[in-house]
Each structure stands twice: as structure tokens, then as C-alpha cells.
Amino acid sequence: MEPSLIQPGNATSGTEGSATQRAYLAIRRMIVVGDVKPGEKLKIEGLRARLDTGASPIREALSLLTSEHLVERIDRRGFRAADTSRKKFDEIFEMRCELENMALQKSMANATEAWEEGVVVAHHRMVRSRGQGGESFEDQHKAFHMSLLSNCDAPILMRF
């Protein structure tokens, strides 16, 4: 399975998507939000218990995350969360800003009434969830930003 086949949001609940998709999204989220620290060993048995899934989906998810440089494979010793640094963060942030700006410009150039309504609704939901905090706000915040970019008609750009 290619990383491009797993889109954030495709597996939002425990019943949607494949076991690999669910494991991929769960482990990715744990790394991104800091539940898993940089350099921390990712033990398959521990992840199996935590995610209530089999070893194969965990291994596949870790391999996919390796291609995203979020996980490192340690020769004959398993996997660990990739180390991070301020320099890496700054580079990723700069690249993301450039790519999101490009996608936003394309979305705006392709603007339709339906797209604009979708952006307004996503913004409303994000603002309403602000008081709830935690993952609810983060999910709505991401949905708002993705709605802004959703009209760019550039699938490869959107994958990045």
C-alpha cells in the first residue's frame, strides 16, 4: 500500500478503513501531537495493545510512516520515532507555507459558491468547537484549512 492511498480523514472512526489505515492514522497522530517522543522506540507489541489491532497492520503502518520520515527503521531492532530539531521544523514549516499558499491561490482561482459555503460552514464549526478544546478543536481547525485548499484541483499538491 502506498502512502498516497492513505489520506488523513479517510479512517475517522474505528469502523472505517482498513486496519492498516487506522493504525497509520493513530500512530501518526501520536507522533505529531507528542504522545510519542522523538527517538522513542516503537514496540509492535505495545502498539498492538494500545491500538487493539494485529501486528501486521502495525508493521505496515510503521513502514508507511518511515517513508514520511516520521519513523526510522533501526536495523534488526525495530522502529523508533524520528528525531527532530528546530532546523527540521523550520524547513518543514517554510515548505508547508509555500505549498499551502499555492493550493489556496488555486482554490480561490477556482472559487464556486458551493466551495465558499463549505469554507464558511467549516469556519463556523471550528469557531464553535474552540470552547471544547482538545482534539475536537484540532479536528475542526484542520477541516477548516483543508476546506480552504479543497478547491485547488491539484491532487498531487494536496497529498503533500
Same domain for 92 and 69?
Answer: no
**Residue 31 and residue 44 in one domain:** yes
Domain match, 110 and 65 both: no
CB 101 within 8 A of CB 107: no
Q: Which amino acid is at 63?
A: S
Q: Are 94 and 76 in the same domain? A: no
Q: Side by side, which strands form the sheet with 71-74?
A: 41-42, 78-81, 71-74
- Please give the model's pTM, rounded to 2 decimal places: 0.59
Instruction: Tell whether 26 and 40 lie within a shared domain.
Output: yes
Question: What does the alpha-carbon distance between residue 47 and residue 34 come to, in Å, rounded to a whole number?
Answer: 15
What CA–CA distance (Å, rounded) separates 132 from 78?
A: 38
CA–CA dist 57, 55 (Å, integer): 6
The cell 520520515 sits on which residue?
A: 69
Ordered per-residue pLDDT tens for the chain, 160 residues: 333 334 443 333 344 579 999 999 999 999 988 899 999 999 999 999 999 999 999 999 999 999 888 999 988 788 999 988 889 889 988 999 999 999 999 999 999 999 999 999 999 999 999 877 667 888 899 999 999 999 999 999 888 7
